Chains A and B, each alone.
Chain A
Amino acid sequence: MNPGYMVEVANVNKVFHTHHFLQRHEESGKRAWYRKKTVRAARNISFGIRKGEIFGLLGPNGAGKTTTVKMISGLVRPTAGAVYVDGMNVDTKRLATLRRIGVVLEGTRTSIWPLTPLENLAYFGNLRDVKGPVLRKRGMELLDLIGLKDKMNVQVRHLSRGQKQKLAICIALISDPPVLLLDEPTTGLDVQSSRSIKDKILEITRELGKCVLVTTHDMNVAQELCDNIGIIADGRLVACKPTHALIDYFSDVTCAFYLDRAADPTPFLGIPGVLSAECNSEDGEYALVLRLIRQEDQRSAALYAIVELLKNSGRLLHGVERRKQTLENVFIQLTSGLPPATGD
């Protein structure tokens, strides 16, 4: 246990067993009366979050993000390993740790719909031992901070998705917990609501000094919000670094050369500075997609060499495109074991 961390996840594993009756097997197509399946939703996950810090857990659907959040909030018990909140083991001191965390799992389903935001805050406040003038004052402050003050007397069922999500964050904060866990806070929201939620999360963390965990499958959300990012795929934490370091780590450049005919990628791999090469057909054109080294002078030399090689092969070059690094590429690289660009 590291005393510097407000939330610490230490070598956590989670195995789910599911039981299926009368189901067809995916591969063989055979029907069986009963079949047991095992899903490893978390494999040896370890990370820590300090006070005043936003940690992003980034991964595709089914990676194990929600499971991790649920293990921190004690809704799911790890098969092995331990989770500590404020130095206390979540498994053995569950109720005490629950006093220190606010959780938003599926924000739109958190609140009671026939009640107004103010009544919701009163209800959940009472459930967490907040009462009287403190409750009223904090409730108003939170609604003001998040921008729901004009809706405070409207029943939740009449609110939009984004507003419900904001209310859920207020509910999680009503007992002023030092830790805030947000599971996919911007998923399913339009650009504006998503923007506004991101701003509010930043404001809350900086102003109230919370320790925040945000899960997302959106690279941009993680990049804009988080101080540290953990990338999770198939239950494994494949990278865990400060945001800027992670971006550097994966900032090798991908370029696509559009051609009239297919090209054999093998000779391009011989050029120094080319990390990988493949040729795909895209909309009747052929795209030669090359990953290039980050270092600029070497990359420049490589690019000239590529153009030279293409020219000599007699192909028509329709265009050149520099592709943005996407989360998808990062995943493919991280999970396929390809080396990241070695620039420095």
Chain B
Amino acid sequence: MGFFLVLKAELVRTFIIMRRYWFATLTSLVIGYGMLMGLILGFMARRDQVTEMIDNRFGVDPSSATNAALGLIIGSFAFGIIGIFSQGLQNMARSGQLEQLCLSPHGLVTNFLARSLVGSTASILTSSIILFLVAHSVEGRIYADPLPVAALLFLTYVDLIGFGFMLGGLVLLFKQTGQIAVIVRIALLGLAVWASDRVDTGYAVLDALVHILPVTDAAICLKHVLIRNQILLDTGQFVSVFEISSFYYLVLNSLVWTAIGISVFKWMENWSRDKGTLGSY
């Protein structure tokens, strides 16, 4: 019950700020659109090559435009969510709002869950708008089953927050680590762009490591649903996401990371209370 009120409070706050700072909201949309358009137009200049790949119908080439564009969107989604826990937390400490959240009778974890849920919903909405605008501009069509995509996006969110909580706990303790988190965020973005059908680095250990990191399997599944399903559409066949191993990795990954992340966060919150740095900058 309390969680939904916190969620509502966050939603209203986010909406008011987006509306009040409409210029910033609008420019971020335009910039996102511009970047994606640039990327796609670049690939369109080499259209025949791309068509050939799609005709191939074998797999998704990691260098294909759609793969990169989708990767960029999923990557920036991850970038954003982790950002709420790292830089976001650091900025809140600086502005004094974190202290208020620490004094909330629902606890920090609930508040950050609500905050990140609202933040990611907002970013999914803006990404969808950008994606549809881009698709419209290049006269392509986006076909997406809303339900599986939404379910996968939610899993992606769960996959990321555990990691986010872990970084957030670190930032609670050592406020300056917010800067280091930028590297982690960029790495996740790169991972989302790079990960395609399978992970195959040639080294078993490295493969395992890549699977353990959040976002990898999420990106694979989402790309799978959004690209492969479209490719096979005219044959009337869907490749179900349940048929790829990444989906199960994703579910497992989400559960494990969330459990670890929230425990670590609570532990660090307590430590921070001992150190006297909870909520302050």
A125 to chain B, nearest CB (A): 8
The answer, yes or no, to whether A131 is at the interface (CB within 8 Å) is yes
Contact residues of B between 107 and 130, Cβ < 8 Å to A: 107, 111
- Report the count of interface residues on A (CB-CB < 8 A): 36
- Interface locus among A105-113, A217-225, A231-239, A325-333: A105-113
Most A-side CB within 10 Å, residue of B6, B12, B13, B97: B13
Cβ-defined partner of B104 (8 Å) among A110, A112, A127: A127
One digit per residue, 1 when the CB lies within 8 angstroms of any chain B CB and 0 when it does not, for chain A 94-111 equals: 011011000101101110
Instruction: Kindly provide the distance from the CB of B87 to the nearest chain A CB, expressed in whole angstroms.
Output: 17
Tell whether, in the assembled complex, residue B9 and residue A122 are in contact, meaning their CB atoms are under 8 Å apart: yes
A76 interface residue per 8 A CB criterion = yes
**What residues of chain B lie closer than 8 Å to A76, measured between beta carbons?**
273-274, 276, 278
Query: Among B15-23, B46-54, B152-160, B219-227, which stretch is in contact with chain A?
Result: B15-23
CB pair B276–A67 under 8 Å, yes or no, is: yes
Q: B274's contact among A67, A77, A155, by CB below 8 Å, is which? A: A77
Interface size classification for chain B: 20 to 34
For the complex, would chain B's binding face be called helix, strand, loop or mixed by DSSP majority? Answer: helix
Chain A nearest CB from B19 CB (Å) reads 10
Query: A105, B97: Cβ atoms under 8 Å?
Result: no
Q: Which residues of A contact B12 (CB under 8 A)?
A: 119, 122-123, 126
**Contact (Cβ within 8 A) A127 B106:** yes
Contact bitstring B1-33, A, C-beta under 8 A = 1, else 0? 010011011001100110011000000000000
* B240 in the interface (beta carbon within 8 A): no
**Chain B nearest CB: distance from A95 CB in Å?**
5
A114 CB within 8 Å of chain B:
yes
CB distance from B111 to the nearest CB of A (A): 7
Contacts A115-B13, A126-B8: A103 and B273 contacting too (C-beta < 8 A)? no
Chain B contact residues, CB within 8 Å of chain A: 2, 5-6, 8-9, 12-13, 16-17, 20-21, 95-97, 99-107, 111, 270, 273-276, 278-280
13 A–B contacts, CB within 8 A, in A order: A16-B276, A75-B278, A75-B280, A77-B270, A95-B107, A96-B105, A106-B99, A110-B99, A114-B20, A115-B16, A119-B16, A123-B12, A126-B8
Residues of A within 8 A of B (CB): 14, 16-17, 41, 67, 70, 73-77, 95-96, 98-99, 103, 105-106, 108-110, 112-115, 119, 122-124, 126-129, 131, 155, 171
